[in-house]
Chain A
Amino acid sequence: MFGVANLTQERIVLALALGLTTVFSIALPGFLTAENLLSLVRSVSVLGILGIAMALVVIGRGIDLSLVAVMAVSLAWTLHMVATGVPLAVALALGLAFCLLAGIITGFLIAYVEIPAIFATLAMGTFIYGFGRYFLITLDVVYLPDAARSIVWIGSGSFLGIPVPVLVFGGVCLLGALFLRYVKAGRYVRAIGDNLLAARITGIPVRPIIVMQYALSGLIGFVAGLVTATSVASMNIRVANSTFVYDVILVVVLGGIGLSGGKGGVRNVIVGTLLIGVLINGMTIMDVQYTVQNVIKSLILLAAIVADTIINPRDEQTAQQGDI
């Protein structure tokens, strides 16, 4: 049992998701079917995978606005290479290398040049999109070439009745959780997010860890890109200019990972993703307009934050001074 004080945002959001599920199950015929629930999770699995990438960065007190651009451009380039005759394995390796390199450059700018993460990643996102569009691929949309048929199962296959994207989401969650808990570097990420100065003085290799954090984000972005490209058989790099990256941040913040760093984990991402999934699915069944959906999404986010502030009032002084 937990008292009122333990009603964290994570629990509020979980309760909201369950509540909504109950309402939808009663009100909407066809909502509570195994088929629909699976397709619900499947529809948000890319969002969830990107959410894990974003969470790793946000826990380390960063933010990655270039995440979606990296995902889109790297995959579009990979598909483009395959279409022009590069062997699939080589193209995949190059695409992955592209993501890692982008992450390393971003991390370098933030850790060593000391540019604030929000500006560095914003600029990198724009740069990567422009660079990719101009130098790497010729069209905004790159279709999946026949030579890449062998990886289509990632996006459209299923295993034991569960769609592969859902399994990939699960796998990324598991790895993310293990990383944060059992790998030293994962602990360091959290320590840096908690208190950068203390991390430095304690002898944590702060700057290499920051670089690693963005490289990891790029790596997971590539996985999300693979799932996207193989499920819709194309990659539209204009997604880099959409508000998609804000949806990813929404999932992370909604789940209760504070943007101030050090707090939260994979569970929060899962909870945030599920709520968004339930919401979108229900609204789609109800045929709610896209714009209205966005308004409702933002209202939910506001509600979650307000509820959190009321139930866990942040005491201004303890927030500023850890010493009591």
Chain B
Amino acid sequence: MKTILELRHATKEYRGVPAVKDVTFTLEQGEVHALLGENGAGKSTLTKMLAGVIAPTAGDILLDGQAVELRGPSDALHKGIAMVYQETSLVPSLTVAQNLYLGDARWFNRLRGIYIAAQQFLQSLNFPVDPTALVSSLGAGQKQMVEIARAVHHKARVIIFDEPTGTLTPEEKHHFFALVKRLQARGVSIIFISHALEEALQISDRITILRDGEYVVTDRTENFDRDRIVRAMVGRTLSDELYGRADQRRARPAGRKVLSVQNLSMGTMVRNNTFSVFAGQITGIFGLIGSGRTETAKVIAGIMKRDFFHGGQIRLEDRPVRYRVPRPAIRDGIIYVTEDRKLEGFFETMSVAENIYVAAMAGGQSRSSMVSMSEMRQLAETWTKALNIRVINSDARVVELSGGNQQKVVVGKALVQKPKLIIFDEPTRGVDVGAIAEIHQLINRLADDGMAVVVISSYLPEILHLSDRILVSRQGRIVEEFTGGQADEETIMYAAVH
């Protein structure tokens, strides 16, 4: 097969610390090439060099065997290399169609024209997205679809997907894989980054694994299994406890009722929603994207603006509550861990320590109005250790951390506020196998310690693995409840869809 894109002995350093060290990577015409590695292994860095987003510190990029210099993402796109980012890069204040055709001459045409074109185009990809909707009103999954559609629209020969499936529901994933196959059939070469190893095994032709910025191995996918991948990723064999699928344990019994939601309605997203959450167990909420789970959680935690509130009652330990801003909810012990960490999860110009300390201050841990540097250092130390947050140096800004480590910072910020009820919204999005296991262990420990834990997830195995109770959400309300260990994937999926 013909090699289309190649990275030769590439190194990328940030402040003298290499994120990618002397890596050689080849992409063949029409293949799906999975790129795997732990958080911070350098996957995004490598692909960003190929997409012209960053320039290598050393090494060459070869396109069709010719050394090229990519002068920026638009130059790369022009040469046929498109990248779909880990997190969205769409313009929130424009509509879906405007985003699709951004940079096209067509954009200047009458809006109606591009809406019709966009409608047809999105339909041809089987994407259920309204082209006239503002991007800011879309859920994470739909944003991802628009992003993919944009790359396809630009007729790229190489498309790089940086964790495209993290935000998709099983059904959407299905569509996505079908789309990848169709692109491949058209001769498009694809680089696919994911933390879900099964996906890589299922969809790719070849797999390359990075570890700590270094090249480990490239081989045909048939020659890999889950164990070999994990071994290559972490550089040693790890106990099954951390990496294997834990077997079914007995569901924890329900403790005291902490939260009860009655007939909650809100906008068009939440309709007459009723459910309860108990202390000392994990309540998993499963549903498709757009089934109103995030919105419900955000009303409970006082994050939604009040004009969206259309009735119903929320009781915290039998006291009716209605928060207009998050602050009093946090003071009462209700904490929501966001699904969109870039948008509202952390302070990117601050260090890990500062992020955690700001959260501690805002959570009202100490009465004093002054900052205590020693307390800050000590909190940072405790939580970096507890969550195993990996940073190059302790002053590194959170924006410089890899996705999984950023997620751990967001979790740390929530836990430092000592919640009674904690709501995790997609807690392991973009997090590597090891870190997923760590975050799951942590969530389990919180429930064992008597906290009321809610986990919202679109990833069914995660729900099955964690939950003591499973609530299924559809069209803005909880439609079914299962006890953990009772239901299987099909039953739950059926309840979520029908």
Contacts and interface: CB of A to CB of B under 8 A. Distances in A.
Contacts of B15: 3, 5-6
Nearest to A194: B347
Contact of A203 (B53, B330, B399, B406): B330
Contacts of B460: none
Of the four ranges (under 10, 10 to 19, 20 to 34, 35 or more), the interface on chain B belongs to: 35 or more
Contacts of A5: 15
B362 A203 contact: yes
B390 to A, nearest CB: 14
Given A3-B15, A318-B399, A321-B88, A183 B350 contact: no
Of the four ranges (under 10, 10 to 19, 20 to 34, 35 or more), the interface on chain A belongs to: 35 or more
A297 interface: no
Interface stretch (A69-77, A184-192, A271-279): A184-192
Contact of A202 (B87, B331, B362, B401): B362
Given A184-B369, A203-B363, A321 B87 contact: yes
A184 B359 CA distance: 11
Interface in A1-36: 3, 5-6
Interface string B5-35: 0000000000110000000000000000000
Contacts of A262: 347-349
A188 B350 CA distance: 12
A317 interface: yes
Contacts of A198: 343-347
Among B303, B326, B347, B350, the most chain A Cβ lie within 10 Å of the Cβ of B347
Contact of A201 (B54, B73, B86, B344): B344
Contacts of A322: 87, 341-342, 346, 348, 398-399, 406
Contacts of B402: 324
Nearest to B398: A322
Interface string B323-363: 00111001100001010011111111110001001110111
A182 interface: yes
A190 B364 CA distance: 18
A14 to B, nearest CB: 20
A184 B413 contact: no
A287 interface: no
A195 interface: yes
A324 B344 CA distance: 16
A181 B358 CA distance: 12
B89 A320 contact: yes
B101 interface: no
Contact of A323 (B327, B342, B349, B363): B342
B296 interface: no
Contacts of A185: 369
B56 interface: no
B459 interface: no
Contacts of A187: 354, 357-358, 361, 371
Contacts of A146: none
B403 interface: yes
Contacts of B417: 203
Contact of A181 (B336, B371, B430): B371
A320 B135 CA distance: 15
A157 interface: no
A200 B370 contact: no
A315 B53 CA distance: 7
A202 B370 contact: no
A316 B51 CA distance: 12
Interface of B: 15-16, 44-45, 48, 53-54, 72-73, 85-89, 303, 325-327, 330-331, 336, 338, 341-350, 354, 357-359, 361-364, 368-371, 398-403, 406, 413, 417, 430
List the 3 closest A-B pairs by CB distance, nearest first: A197-B344, A203-B330, A203-B362
27 contacts: A183-B370, A184-B369, A184-B370, A187-B354, A187-B357, A188-B358, A191-B347, A191-B350, A195-B347, A199-B347, A200-B326, A201-B303, A201-B338, A203-B326, A203-B330, A203-B359, A204-B327, A262-B347, A262-B348, A262-B349, A316-B53, A317-B48, A317-B53, A317-B73, A324-B44, A324-B86, A324-B403
